[in-house]
Amino acid sequence: MPERILVALGGNALVRAGQRGTIEEQRANSDRALAGIVPMIQRGCQVVITHGNGPQVGHILIRVEAARHQAYDLPLDVCVAQSQGEIGYLLQQSLENLLRQSRIDRTVAVVLCRTVVDQHDSKLAKPSKPVGPYYSEEEALVLQARGWSLVKEAPHGFRRVVPSPEPIRIVETEVIQRLVDEGVIVITVGGGGIPVSAEADGTLHGIEAVVDKDLASSQLAVAIGVERILDLTSVEHAKLHFNSPSEKNLQTVTVGGAKKYLAEGHFAPGSMQPKMEAGIYYLERGGREFIITHTEKALDGFEGRTGTHMFLN
């Protein structure tokens, strides 16, 4: 049986620090981010790709603010849906072109997906998920006066934060499973999925929030029998004592060790913390290995030459 892998791309895979986030930049970054995945597909792996949307959904929110009273407002769940379409299209086209250049005949499909959350989740009242660009302190004060919640992310500046409830299940799990079984490379769970709540009769309603993509990706991975997760981000390793004189790369860790380091506060909320929590969730429910590494080190991480590798024991 071919190995089933989930590759989770961070929002910075398409928009890097210091970039404006233009479509041209995102296209070039997509090519770089996906180049290391092509050899895995070439070896016959069944690949599911998920992605963040922090920079893109943040820019959509800026457009909504700028167009207020001139165009209809967009609730946050619809902003997430828009970002899924934009990013999914860019990744799909980039990957298809890379596969064509390597003479690999595989179908790539984007699945717009929804993630069920609890409408009473206490996290809905506590904005914590960073989205959008960085702002200076002066800009942040103006935006706070407009009712935005912001958090400082040293050394870059301030970012807007929005509610981020826990994912319960991916609505489209069954269709994703069927596509992967048929050999389709699926791009899905964009931005953690469009957050929706479910009534007792099964009716779904959009929720104004952004679900963490790492946690939602692990939830999907468990549901469809993924053997390994490759979580790609802007650093090559998770780190202990981050940004201090005693900073140290974390190369191998067990679930027990990860829980200990989380309790000691080594991993920042909204950054490395949800990745560690996602790895724990996945491995405790049957996953084999959870790998964290830099976007452009995907193949090296997959083959064990770099990255942080998390195992159950």
Query: Hey, which residues are catalytic here?
Result: 11-12, 129, 213, 275
The strand ranges marked E within the chain are 4-9, 46-51, 108-110, 114-116, 129-135, 150-153, 157-162, 169-170, 185-188, 194-198, 204-206, 228-233, 238-240, 248-250, 252-254, 289-294, 308-311
Q: Give the burial string for 165-182 (b: 16+ CB within 10 Å, else e).
A: bbbbbbbbbeebbebbee
Classified as helix, coil or strand, 231 is strand
How many Å apart are CA 312 and CA 145, to the nearest integer?
Answer: 46
282 within 8 A of 312, measured Cβ to Cβ: no
Q: Report the C-alpha gap between 106 and 109 in whole angstroms.
A: 10
Distance (Å, whole) CA 182 – CA 142: 51
Tokens matching residue 229:
């997760």
